[in-house]
Amino acid sequence: MFGYVRPFKGEMLVKEYDAYKGVYCRLCRALGRYYGPLMRMTLSYDCTFYALLALNQRDPKMHAERRRCTCNPLKKCTYVCPANEDAYAETCFHKAAALSVIMTAYKFRDNIEDERTIQSLGARFLFALSRRTLKKASADFPFMAEAARSMMAAQRAAEHAVHASIDACAAPTAEFLRTVCAELGETEAEKTVLRQLGYFLGRWVYIMDAADDLADDLRRGGFNPFVEKLSLEAYVGGELPKTQRDAADRECNAVLNGSLAMVVPAANLLPDGPFTGILENILQKGLPEMQREILFLHIKRTARKEREF
């Protein structure tokens, strides 16, 4: 995943912030339990959102536990854990852990295919390390692995088309999240809401990543759907002038707003559960704030990491 689906901390209640961190830390523990300590490195905000979405579909029995951090034994963390061995809650964390492993492994594979041989050595090494856990996660949740395989095949076909439109390139990620989100619903009404939420969130994530990488992709000559849409071919291999960069940022923002406009109505139809407030914060405040940071404040990935929870 990409790390863009995160809450806006400044607008969270203290109890919501504590609950979010508790689920985040519990997912870290689940990654180690199901797929080994090394897979804790795949922990992301995106998969934490998926865990929250899954937990919020029902009313699972949960409680907070104070334990030592699995990565730093010198400090203690509060974990949001299934109470009385609640099977549904444990399955939610298991699914989110599998999603984290599967998406990370396929991201490594995508980097191998996109980059030159020498540049892809790191991705090759990391993919080799993750192959065994990818196989286990795929066996645990075959529907998720099949959706990821279909996404990567469709993504490659869309990006190698004669005319690579943004809609065509964003569709595979959108379809993938529509599939994994819809699986969380029991009734057709629930699945319909989750399909719309997953589809347009997936579209937003792909486009956000493309907008974030536009200047770097131009500089190194990598693929980016905005290059053709904004007629930026003349700047491939060089720097994007400020005037063109500002115009590109405004256009990217308009395209992203189109997806957000479809995410919010679906978010309003989610069930009223223990994490509804956090989900609303992420979808209605966190996503717009991410657009602002990237497109108008030009805060890069390394700087954003320093501001993480």
- Domain architecture of the chain: domains with CATH: 9-306 (1.10.600.10)
**Does residue 281 contact residue 8 with C-beta atoms inside 8 Å?**
yes
| 78-93 per-residue burial string, b: 16 or more CB within 10 A, e: under 16 | ebbbbeeebeebeebb
Provide φ and ψ at 307, rounded to 5°. -100, 10
Q: Which of 263, 252, 260 is nearest to 193 (CA)?
A: 263
Provide φ and ψ at 230, rounded to 5°. -100, 10
> Helix, strand or coil for residue 65?
strand
Q: Alpha helices, DSSP H only, in the chain?
A: 14-35, 45-56, 87-114, 121-140, 142-159, 166-182, 188-220, 225-229, 242-267, 276-281, 287-291, 301-306
Q: Which residues contact 12 (CB under 8 A, 6 or more apart)?
A: 20, 278, 281
Residue 120: what pLDDT? 58
CA distance 22 to 67: 11
Residue 306: what pLDDT? 44
Residue 72: what pLDDT? 80
Spans of the chain, pLDDT less than 50: 306
CA distance 142 to 202: 20
CA distance 123 to 111: 6
Q: Which of 180, 206, 176, 204 is nearest to 194 (CA)?
A: 180
> Could you tell me the two tokens for 17?
């912030």
Residue 114: what pLDDT? 59
Provide φ and ψ at 299, rounded to 5°. -85, 120
Residue 140: what pLDDT? 96
Q: Which residues contact 247 (CB under 8 A, 6 or more apart)?
A: 230
> Could you tell me the two tokens for 79?
């974990």
Angle at 283 between CA 227 and CA 153, to 5 degrees: 45
CA distance 62 to 84: 8
**Does residue 133 contact residue 39 with C-beta atoms inside 8 Å?**
yes
CA distance 109 to 264: 32
Residue 170: what pLDDT? 95
Q: Which residues contact 27 (CB under 8 A, 6 or more apart)?
A: 43, 47, 48, 51, 93, 96, 97, 100
